[in-house]
A and B are shown apart, each in its own frame.
Chain A
Amino acid sequence: MPAEIAHPTLTLNPVHDVNELLEYHFMINALLAGGIVAVMAGLVGWLTVMRRETFAGHTLSLMAFPGASGAALIGVPVAWGYFACCGAGALAISRFSDRATGSWDEESAGIGTVQALALALGFLFLSLYSGVLDSLESLLFGNPLGVSDGQVRTLAIVGAVVLLALGAVARPLLFASVDPDVADARGVPVKALSTAFLLLLGLAVAATSQITGPLLVFALLVMPAATAQAITPRPLVSLLLTVVLGLAVVWLGMSLAYFSVYPAACFITATAFAIYALARLHGTARRRRSDRRPPPAIAPQLPDGVIA
């Protein structure tokens, strides 16, 4: 946070506080970028949680590290390095993890190896270009309050591309995610869809790491989606809930960070985790209650077309 505005005070008067938040251009940029990223990461993350590809998501998020240090080494904008490395990482994971044919344990070994290679490369670039080490913290934990107009534009374009692409493949992708074998038998190109999804995941992750930093991407990618899926089993409702939660978490986290000295990523992660923990506790309590209640004597009437 720049030094000249380092002393905003929280007055607990909502109108005054919101006015103060929106007073500075950098804060509006941060909130805009956070909003774009929260929607994109929420939607992609929802599918990631359902497809159980969190490890792949995490590995892709670490691609930002060789991306950023490599970009610094050859002197191109950091964002280029992010996107290039995430794309390459997505292709490598899809090549290494033959989920359609191989077993899960082999997949996890393959992804782990890709991640180790990426980190080794990142460390090599970093030691070849010693200047980056000074900004290691912002490289690892992002700098959402320093987002430029250009970055907001880039994020908006990336977000639109990801949403359009997701919309285009939504139906077959959902089918292939829920039941890959049946989808394959019906002629759905499961393998190609899986690669396409990993590429979209790479794009979303590269964009998210500019807000939260590569290590805390899950705060927006996985936590809102997992919370929503823990609250309701209905797909559309939980998808909407994911987006709402993501937006709430990112805006609340950034606002809190504005009034304090700690990085925004801290608050975003803590808020997202608190909501997740509440949802899980609520779920456990509800399950206990329904366990104690005796089962209904007569099976409840189901609407037509629902298979009990």
Chain B
Amino acid sequence: MFSQEFMLNALLAGTFVALACGVTGWFVVLRGQVFAGDALSHVAFPGALAAAAAGLDERVGLFAATVAMGGAIGVFGRRTFAIGTGGGARMAPVDDTSIGIVFTFILGLGVFFLTLFSMGSGGGTGIQAAHTLFGSIFGLSSRAALLAAVIALAVTLCTVAIARPLLFASVAPEVAAARGVPTRLLGVGFLAILGVVVAEASQVVGALLLLGLLAAPAGAAQRLARSPLAGIGLSAALAVGAMWGGLLLSYAIPSLPPGSSIVAVAVAIYYGARMLT
């Protein structure tokens, strides 16, 4: 198996992308922003299409769209909203409605670009759309795999660098703000980082499936681990484990697409964690 070059490339890119998803995913789940991550993964698709329509590299559009959307959610969205009354009041994410509306609008633009495309060149757009939506980890060149690994490692390090203040700002935003932590700036910066992770991961596992890597390992780690440090480590380890398990599975069963098997393993891990606790 390791003598196949496509498999080595897939493992190299996959490992680091999973690492980035696991680490940022832990904060995403902690901050209740899974829907924001989901929205980012959907705007990746119109972004890539728009870039292709303008004759640019697909990746430029991908990164520009997700980082811009991340910044927009961070700047315009208020984070929480009290639901219920008195002591039982819980904080609910308030910007879910606006996130949903904005990304639906952007997807509408995506449909427009897709039509524009299929009228111009005909044929092949369905396949291309499928690639943008579902990724093609077994089709990476060694250069692309190396680039993916380097970018993923860089964003992981960025997240680790702001981990302490980000944790403080996520758990007790008011106290953190009173202590002089720039909570709003951290929120926007984190969403921008998330945008990069999403753009990167959507090339590897696909825009629609990366949510499994972002939410499932982190959700499992939130249930299993007691301390933040252990949680982040466990989340990263589970994400990498899901990636390896999925790749092995789809190598063993050729009719199983890698995106599906990776997500299946991640979901199995999440379900197992729910059973345990």
Contacts and interface: CB of A to CB of B under 8 A. Distances in A.
A215 B88 contact: no
A226 B98 CA distance: 8
Contact of A110 (B104, B219, B259, B263): B219
A265 B260 CA distance: 28
Nearest to A136: B126
B219 to A, nearest CB: 3
Contacts of A55: 34-35, 38, 96, 100
Contacts of B127: 133
B100 A54 contact: yes
Interface in A162-193: 179-182
A57 B103 CA distance: 14
B146 interface: no
A218 interface: yes
Interface string B203-242: 0001011011111101100110000000000000000000
Interface in B26-55: 29-35, 37-38, 42
A105 B107 contact: no
Contact of A109 (B99, B125, B209, B218): B218
A117 B85 contact: no
A272 to B, nearest CB: 8
A104 B91 contact: yes
B19 to A, nearest CB: 18
Interface string B142-164: 00000000000000000000000
Given A58-B38, A128-B255, A215-B42, A117 B112 contact: no
Given A52-B94, A121-B260, A127-B257, A116 B212 contact: yes
Contact of B92 (A52, A117, A119, A127): A52
Contacts of A57: 100
Contacts of B256: 124
Interface stretch (B62-70, B114-122, B172-180, B192-200): B114-122
A116 B209 contact: yes
Interface size class of B (residues with CB under 8 A): 35 or more
Contacts of B259: 120, 123
Contact of A265 (B96, B111, B126, B255): B111
B29 A109 contact: yes
A146 B94 CA distance: 37
B119 A261 contact: yes
Given A110-B219, A116-B211, A266 B108 contact: yes
Given A108-B93, A136-B130, A265-B111, A223 B104 contact: yes
B107 to A, nearest CB: 5
A217 B92 CA distance: 23
Nearest to A226: B97
A273 B31 CA distance: 27
Interface in A125-172: 127-128, 133-134, 136-137, 140-141
B10 interface: no
Contact of A104 (B32, B119, B212, B219): B32
A34 interface: no
Contact of A117 (B115, B212, B257): B212
B38 A112 contact: yes
A222 B32 contact: no
A215 B105 CA distance: 10
A269 B107 contact: yes
B100 A58 contact: yes
B266 A116 contact: yes
Contact of A216 (B94, B108, B262): B108
A262 interface: yes
A123 B263 CA distance: 11
A277 B40 CA distance: 20
A72 interface: no
29 contacts: A49-B97, A54-B35, A54-B99, A57-B100, A103-B90, A105-B30, A105-B31, A108-B32, A109-B29, A109-B218, A109-B219, A110-B219, A111-B35, A112-B35, A112-B215, A113-B212, A113-B266, A117-B263, A119-B209, A120-B263, A127-B260, A137-B126, A141-B111, A179-B85, A216-B104, A218-B104, A223-B101, A269-B107, A269-B108
Q: Which 6 A-B pairs have CB atoms at the shortest separation, nearest pair first?
A: A116-B212, A109-B219, A269-B108, A112-B215, A120-B263, A108-B34
Given A113-B215, A115-B211, A219-B104, 20 more contacts: A58-B35, A96-B274, A111-B34, A111-B35, A112-B215, A112-B216, A116-B215, A116-B216, A117-B264, A121-B260, A133-B126, A133-B130, A134-B126, A137-B118, A141-B111, A182-B85, A218-B100, A223-B104, A266-B111, A269-B111
Interface of B: 29-35, 37-38, 42, 81, 83-86, 88, 90-94, 96-101, 104-105, 107-108, 111-112, 114-115, 118-119, 125-127, 129-130, 134, 206, 208-209, 211-216, 218-219, 222-223, 255-257, 259-264, 266-267, 270, 274
Interface of A: 49, 52, 54-55, 57-58, 62, 96, 103-113, 115-117, 119-121, 123-124, 127-128, 133-134, 136-137, 140-141, 179-182, 213, 215-219, 222-223, 226, 261-263, 265-266, 269-270, 273, 276
